[in-house]
Copies of this chain bind each other. A is one copy, B any other.
Amino acid sequence: MATVSIKEVAARAGVSPGTVSNVLNRPAKVAPGTRERVRRAIHELGFVRHGSASTLRAGHSRTVGLSVIDIGNPFFTEIAAGVEEMASERGYAVILGNSAGSRTKEERNLRVLAEQRVRGVLITPSDQDLARLDRLRERGISVVLVDHPGHRPDQCAVAVDDVAGGRAAVAHLLAGGARHVAYVTGPLTIRQCAERRQGALAALEAAGLDPDRLEIVETAAMTARAGERAAGDLLRDGLPEAIFCANDLLALGVLRTLLQAGVRVPDDVALMGYDDIDFAAASAVSLSSMRQPTHQLGRTATELLLDECDNPGTHAHQHIMFQAELVARESTR
């Protein structure tokens, strides 16, 4: 209640409000003695700057928005952690929006972000139609795409190379001696699933094998339960020598079902996941996987965004593509 303003600080330090503002924002402009006096007054009165007043007058805030598809998925959570870390280092606050896969919810979130006059928005787009992001940019809100290649030159984007990741995964399985490989995947309308498949095909071709021999098992969701069902299908129709799953949750489900059926992993079937979530290393047979630099993804995206905000003149838009890293564990040994 007893909210203390810059004026009271000024009065106590015997200066004008403008000088207090300078101490806060451009300390070098103020003589050392005065600066100290003001700082002491701030401390004694417990003054906290009113962010809204500052935003209103200065024309920009010290907040960024983060809109993700599913905050419950460890992949996005780690991105969020990276974003929060970098933003916090730079003195920015993060406003979180969870679109839960719903386009209308995403739009509502973007609207709230626009009202809050965030400096910029980090978004993992819920679909391929990015036109609504232009309306944000028209308002002077920078946008950085996360986990999306970002085909346009007028915006930054940060992603992981899913084609290369899929290729590396399947190449690893082939190097282990497998010739017949199955790909257990979520809906191929999901960009990540489709690109990892493309990589898998490339790996087969590079090894001089017929790409048509890649057996595709497409599931409705990317969950452990869906993986169990997919493994059931494979058991019925005849097992391949190796299975590549589009994410670790699918792989965990496959693994569980195979083990229960008495199939030995990796002796009978080699298995790879994707994402390298924490639990991949903790499963009964530890799971080989493709590690993505999620934390780094969040940090870098935030860095690009803040650079775009702070140096609008010199900022060059970038599309940064990270590489996934193969982590070999028992399931492919």
Residues of A within 8 A of B (CB): 1-3, 46, 48-53, 55-56, 61, 63, 66, 71-72, 74, 77-78, 80-81, 84-85, 88, 91, 93-98, 100, 105, 108-109, 111-117, 135, 138-140, 224, 249, 252-253, 255-256, 259, 278-279, 281-286
Contacts and interface: CB of A to CB of B under 8 A. Distances in A.
Contacts of A85: 98, 100
A113 B140 contact: no
A109 B88 contact: yes
A284 B284 contact: yes
Contact of A140 (B1, B66, B94, B105): B1
Given A256-B284, A283-B284, A139 B1 contact: yes
A117 B50 contact: yes
27 contacts: A48-B114, A48-B115, A48-B139, A50-B115, A52-B55, A52-B117, A56-B56, A71-B80, A72-B74, A72-B77, A74-B74, A80-B96, A84-B98, A85-B100, A88-B98, A88-B108, A93-B113, A93-B116, A94-B97, A95-B96, A224-B279, A224-B281, A252-B283, A256-B283, A259-B284, A283-B283, A284-B285
> Which 9 pairs from chain A and chain B are nearest by CB?
A284-B284, A224-B282, A52-B55, A52-B52, A51-B115, A96-B96, A279-B279, A252-B282, A52-B56
Nearest to A108: B88
A1 B55 CA distance: 15
Contacts of A48: 111, 114-115, 139
Nearest to A50: B117
Contacts of A1: 138-140
Nearest to A115: B51
Contact of A71 (B2, B77, B256): B77
A55 to B, nearest CB: 4
A295 to B, nearest CB: 9
Contact of A96 (B55, B61, B84, B117): B84
Contacts of A71: 77, 80-81, 84
Contact of A51 (B49, B50, B100, B117): B117
A61 B252 CA distance: 44
Contacts of A138: 1-2
Contacts of A81: 71-72, 98
A51 to B, nearest CB: 4
A256 B1 CA distance: 55
Most chain B beta-carbon neighbours within 10 Å: one of A50, A78, A253? A50
Contacts of A249: 278, 282
A56 to B, nearest CB: 5
Contact of A94 (B72, B96, B105, B115): B96
